[in-house]
Structure formats: C-alpha cells, structure tokens
Amino acid sequence: MLSRTDRRIEVTLSELLGFLKHAGYHFVTPTPATHHRVNLRIENKLARSLTDVFGWNRSFGKQLLPEMVFGVLAESEVITETSNGWKSVVRASTVGTEIFLHSSFPTVAADAVFFGPDTYRFVKAIRSHMAANPLGVGRVLDIGCGSGAAGIVIAKKCSTCEVLMTDVNEAALQMSRINSNFAGTNNCLSIDSDLFERVDGKFDLIVSNPPYLNDPLERKYRHGGGILGSELSKKIVETSLSRLAPLGTLLLYTGSPIIDGVDAFYGAVKKLLSQKSFGWSYEEIDPDVFGEELDTSTYRSADRIAVVVLTVKNRESERC
C-alpha cells in the first residue's frame, strides 16, 4: 500500500507518468473479467513490455525497466518484489493522449481507485454533452472523481472553468491530484467531500459516475448502497438539483437493474423530477454490464444491469 502522506510518493508517481508518456505508452483498461482471463494465458505469466507491467499488471524481471527508473520505483515501493518477480502497485491507462494512474489489479482493496470501461463511456458522454453545449467560464463539479479522468477531460476542454473534483476516498484524491498535476490542469482542485458537504455555491455543470452495484465488501468505488446499489445515484440527483446554477446541467452516468423489464432507477428519477421545473433526458447506453452479478443472490431477480445517462437542466433563467 502506498503511503498517503509521503509527498515523495507523489513526486515518484508523477515521474513514472513522465517516463511512460515519453515511451509512448498506451493501454485501454478492459473489464476485470477480461483482465483476469487474458492474464491467465500461459504466455502472459511474465511481462514483456511496459504495457504488461503497468497496464496488465503482470510480474516482471528487473531488466525490463531502465536501471535508474527501477531504483526509484523500488525505493518508493511503487514496485514490490514477489515470489514470481516484481509487480507494480499501480496501473496506468490512457484516454486519448492522456495517461491516468489508478489501482493495481485486482481491485480488491477497500480504497481501490477504479478505472475501466465505465470510465471510457462516462468520458464519451461528457464529451458529447460539451460538444453540444459549449461551456464558457463557470464552475464544474465532479462528484466521486476517482482517478480524476472526467474532471481532467473537462478542464482540458474548458481551461477557464473552475473544476472541483470530490471523493470520500483518500487514495482517489491522491491519484486525481497526481493525474491532474501531470496533465497540467491547474484549474482542477481535489477536495475530500461527501457529496456537497465541503463545497459551496452553485455549478454550471455537475458530473458523476458513482458506484452503482451492491458490493458485499462495500468497497468505496463499487458499493452504491441500497438493495440493488442505486441509493447513492438517487441521492446525487436529489442533492444536486438545488446546486445547479441557472441553465446549469447535471450529467449522471450510472447503472440500473432491470427487473421484469422495468428500469427501477428510471422510476425513481421520474418520481423525483415530476414536481420539479427541470428539463431532463434519460438514455440507456449499454443494455448489459456486469453480467456476472446476476449469479449472486442480490441480483437474482434482475434481468440485466443497464448503463444509463441522466441529463438534468435547470431552466431557472428561462422562467425569468
């Protein structure tokens, strides 16, 4: 486990990002199930490239890294020795030309920092929204920022915006801060906050990709609360409405269990927004994710788990 208070660790991790960037590193993170299957192949037992080391998180021999890089990473315990060789305690993934550090595989720790297919879909949804609704000078909030991918993408697109990235996970705040600093997004700020607990004022854009499963281990990046994992998503919608600036938008990317053909989260959102003067849209963008969860007793009644994007716009100024 990395020290969360040692500033040297953050310097080392930033240097690792620089090394990978210079080396032309590229890795798209798949689902945990795919990651596990690919790593089980006998030919993948040991790493042969930087992608194997910092993407697939495979064991490697020390000769695979430049001597100076190896020494710095080993001293800071960013890489540790195991019975099968050395392993990195972090992974690095790319979104376009940007590189983001996050937790090693498998993400079993309570404070693991998630990155995966949901991240790519979330970023794509944000980019589509911003292309259709250019954001000028304003305030942006990324609730449950994780690695900071969403906030950083927004900050890159809107350099005049103030982007606040919040999380309750100290490890996520550390990773988001490192990734933001490396990306050169000086308009980003990572804040320890449970929803709006430690942030003031209103926002022109609020985005969130909260945990949306019922996780027996209650890992912060995965457990959404409630019987089927949707409680946090509902709470984000409910608490965000009063914090949207005039013409401000909430973009929520989440999952919803479909039971007997009925989208449970949609029903809750419709009820919540029915008495509010907001414009909103709701789109199912992936019909079937985390299928393995259907084997558990928790999701025994579910047909599938869908990924949805809820967009809510405050029409306040239109009524003035």
pTM score:
0.94
Task: Average the pLDDT over each of 54-58, 70-74, 106-110 and give the range with the smallest value.
Answer: 106-110
Query: What's residue 106's pLDDT?
Result: 92
Does the pLDDT value for residue 3 go beyond 60? no
Domains of the chain: 7-103 (no CATH), 117-319 (3.40.50.150)
* DSSP of 96-139: TTEEEEEEPSS--STT----SHHHHHHHHHHHHHHHHS---S-E
Bin 226: left if φ > 0, else alpha if -120 < ψ < 50, else beta. left
Q: How far does Cα 39 stand from its chain's mean position?
A: 23
Question: Quick one: angle between helices 7-22 and 170-183, nearest 10?
Answer: 50
Instruction: Pull the structure tokens for residue 318.
Output: 């239109």
222-246 mean pLDDT: 94
Does the pLDDT value for residue 268 go beyond 70? yes
Residue 308 pairs in a beta bridge with: 254, 284
285-294 per-position pLDDT tens digit: 999 999 999 9
Query: What's residue 220's pLDDT?
Result: 84
Does the pLDDT value for residue 134 go beyond 90? no
Query: What's residue 1's pLDDT?
Result: 46
Where does residue 112 rank: exposed (0-12), middle (13-18), buried (19+ CB within 10 A)?
buried
Q: SS3 for 178?
A: helix
Rounded Cα gap, residues 122 and 37, in angstroms: 24
Rounded Cα gap, residues 189 and 200, in angstroms: 14
Instruction: Pull the structure tokens for residue 47.
Output: 């790493």
20 phi and psi angles, rounded to 5 deg: -65, -40
Instruction: Pull the structure tokens for residue 240.
Output: 């965000």
Query: What's residue 221's pLDDT?
Result: 87
The label of the residue with tokens 């990046």 reads 221
Task: Average the pLDDT over each of 38-42, 136-140, 211-215 and give the range with the smallest value.
Answer: 136-140
